[in-house]
Amino acid sequence: MLESVARVGALTGTPWIYVAVTVSVLLDVFLPLLPSGVLIVTAATAAAAGSGAAAAAGGATTGDVPHDVPDILALTLCAATASVLGDLVAYRLAWRGGARLDRALARSRRLSLAQQRLGAALSRGGGGALVVVARFAPAGRSVVSFSAGATHRRVREFLPWSALAGLSWAAYSVALGYFGTRWLGAAWLATCVSVAALFAAGAGAAYLMRRAPGASEASQAP
């Protein structure tokens, strides 16, 4: 993993980091194994380290930020926007998927259970919280986005919560890398701690999804 982080670090001094973040987050709804969260944390770590170095060199007196340091606001907006766009693409594909996709979803016990949970939560007015929590869980975003589309949930029931989920996740990931570096000092230590915290949040979100109201009933479904 450290080798991958080092490769990512080479991008953080160029505008391509924003492209990499956008593409990674956009695609990880279809390929949940893409390390989009790690990419954001690493970029935010570089932003904090670069800003700190500039301040130590006297840049803080002018308020200037080096051009080769990622902007944390731009990182957050890129990640949040790509997250919402990816959700909508998955949602529309599932909505218009037809019988073949319906059969594929039906063969997936995980997606079938997610459809039941999401439907039950939305009917009680609590589906929004599930969408937000799912954004932090491994593959949770994929499950919820496809389930919302496959069950033909109205876009106004899904889109606002998808936007909140994307912004929350992006802000959390950026904050981990940026403030972790400011507090811990060493960039490598901050990256390791921040990535661990990101995975911990994912594990916690996955647990909450399993404990969501209606989960026990859904798990007993044939």
Could you give the CA distance from residue 72 to residue 46 in angstroms, rounded to a whole number? Answer: 10
Angle at which helices 187-210 and 155-184 pack, to 10 degrees? 150
Q: Are 71 and 17 in contact (CB under 8 A)?
A: no
Both tokens of residue 35? 């390390």
Tens of pLDDT, residue by residue over 181-190, are: 888 877 778 8
Distance between the two ends of the chain, CA-based, in angstroms?
A: 40
The secondary element (H helix, E strand) that includes residue 115 is helix 109-123
- Which of 145 and 126 is assigned the larger pLDDT? 145
Q: Judge whether residue 63 has pLDDT over 50.
A: no
Tens of pLDDT, residue by residue over 110-139, are: 666 666 666 566 555 556 788 899 899 888
Local confidence band at 48 (pLDDT 50, 70, 90 cut-offs)? confident
Could you give the CA distance from residue 146 to residue 157 in angstroms, rounded to a whole number? Answer: 14
- Which of 85 and 5 is assigned the larger pLDDT? 85
Among 78-92, 116-130, 208-222, which range has the highest average pLDDT? 78-92
- Which of 7 and 21 is assigned the larger pLDDT? 21
Could you give the CA distance from residue 183 to residue 191 in angstroms, rounded to a whole number? Answer: 12
Among 99-108, 158-167, 183-192, which range has the highest average pLDDT? 158-167
pLDDT at 182: 86
64: left (phi over 0), alpha (psi -120 to 50) or beta: beta
Tens of pLDDT, residue by residue over 168-182, are: 999 999 999 999 888
Q: Nearest-5° angle of CA 182, CA 172, CA 32?
A: 125
137: left (phi over 0), alpha (psi -120 to 50) or beta: beta
Q: What is the mean pLDDT of the chain?
A: 77
Q: Provide mean pLDDT across the span 76-94.
A: 94
Local confidence band at 108 (pLDDT 50, 70, 90 cut-offs)? low
Could you give the CA distance from residue 145 to residue 159 in angstroms, rounded to a whole number? Answer: 10
Local confidence band at 25 (pLDDT 50, 70, 90 cut-offs)? very high
